[in-house]
Amino acid sequence: MAHSHEPAGVLHAPAATSGPWAGELAAARAAAREAGHAAMAHYGTATQTGVSGGGPVTEADRAANAVIVARLRAAFPSDALLSEELRDTPGRLSASRLWVVDPLDGTREFLAGNGEFAVMVGLAVDGRAVLGAVYLPVPDRLYFAAEDSGAWVEEAGAVRPVRCGPADPAAPRLVGSRSHPDPLAARMQRALGAADVRPAGSVGVKCALIAEGERDVYLHPVPHLKEWDTCAPEVILREAGGAVADCRGAPLRYNKPDPRQPDGIVACGPGLLAHVLARIAPLYAESVETAAADAAGR
């Protein structure tokens, strides 16, 4: 297990590291960090070796996945596991506890060498995300959170709490997809009056920007996101004071037969969710109706 060497006077995270999820969170943090190191052994030399979920796969994805799967299965052999890089099996559906893993979120960014990728390890219990670790290897920064224990970041041997900052609903600062631009998302951004949209890669990176108060809103209204894209980042952002829902305003659910998040995601800082949903709801409803009509006409 990875250990941080913290200098005297560093702020610790007692609620997160000694609470009811302490063992699971320690395993998630260690697995995410070790997997990130395994992936970075291929940084700058990796090539695409396949396709998974419509995106590229590299030897770095597989190396990171092997580390996480081995650690979690050794520590929690009775828990189910869903990973982007594992063959899914229906047996997980009867499990109360499900580890939800993206060994390398942002493989396109990894291949591009721009640093906007993350290792994400989350835990869902009875369909709700309760714990997450998101490791950003390039800045060597580890975000982690457990339900009702706050959100924290570990960097350069120090641990500090993470809280969203205040936002102006009239001019929210958005973070958008770098690799998956979408016309509907662009229309929603305009409906929010957002003139400031920063592109970024991994969902973990996007939610971290909101948790740190650097951005206010991330929305992605297409059904391409999977449970492993959202589980760990959701917990971190919620515990940092933000809010996460789908584009209909419903909570995200986990351990579904189909791991897609069918109505996308809205992630935002405190006090913004109702405002954002009110602005985007007509656009989303129109897009759903149009898609249904198109499907019926085929």
Query: Can you give the CATH number for the domain in which 49 is found?
Result: 3.30.540.10
Cβ 84 vs Cβ 51: under 8 Å:
no
pLDDT of 290 reads 83
Residue 281 belongs to domain with CATH number: 3.40.190.80
Structural domain harbouring 118: 14-161
pLDDT of 141 reads 97
Cβ 228 vs Cβ 83: under 8 Å:
yes
State pTM to two decimals.
0.91
Cβ 161 vs Cβ 170: under 8 Å:
no
Q: Where does a domain end: 161, 186, 203?
A: 161
Distances (CA, A) of 215 to 167, 196, 206, 242, 269: 9, 9, 8, 11, 8
pLDDT of 37 reads 97
pLDDT of 1 reads 35
Q: What stretches in the chain show pLDDT beneath 70?
A: 1-16, 53-54, 298
pLDDT of 298 reads 67
Q: Is residue 1 domain-resident?
A: no
Q: Is residue 6 domain-resident?
A: no
pLDDT tens-digit series, residues 102-135: 999 989 999 999 999 999 999 999 999 999 999 9
Query: Do 157 and 194 belong together in one domain?
Result: no
- Is 237 buried (19+), middle (13-18) or exposed (0-12) by CB count in 10 A? buried
Which spans in the chain are helix H? 14-18, 22-40, 59-75, 107-112, 183-191, 203-211, 227-239, 273-297
pLDDT of 195 reads 80
Cα-to-chain-centroid distance, residue 50: 22
Q: Is residue 253 domain-resident?
A: yes
pLDDT of 11 reads 46
Short-list 119, 157, 153, CA closest to 137: 119
Long-range CB contacts (within 8 A, 24+) of 188-193: 188/219, 188/221, 188/279, 188/280, 188/283, 188/284, 189/219, 191/279, 191/280, 191/283, 192/217, 192/276, 192/279, 192/280
Query: Do 230 and 140 belong together in one domain?
Result: no
Q: Is residue 167 domain-resident?
A: no
Q: Is residue 42 domain-resident?
A: yes
Short-list 206, 267, 255, 244, CA closest to 99: 255
pLDDT of 6 reads 36
Q: What are the b/e assignments for 27-49, b being 16+ CB within 10 Å?
A: bbbbbbbbbbbbbbebbeebeee
Instruction: Output the six-digit token pair for 268.
Output: 């935002």
pLDDT tens-digit series, residues 224-259: 899 999 999 999 999 999 999 999 999 999 999 999
Instruction: Output the six-digit token pair for 71.
Output: 């650690």
pLDDT of 5 reads 36
Q: Show the CA angle centred on residue 238, arms to residues 232 and 241, nearest 5°.
A: 145
Number of domains in the chain: 2
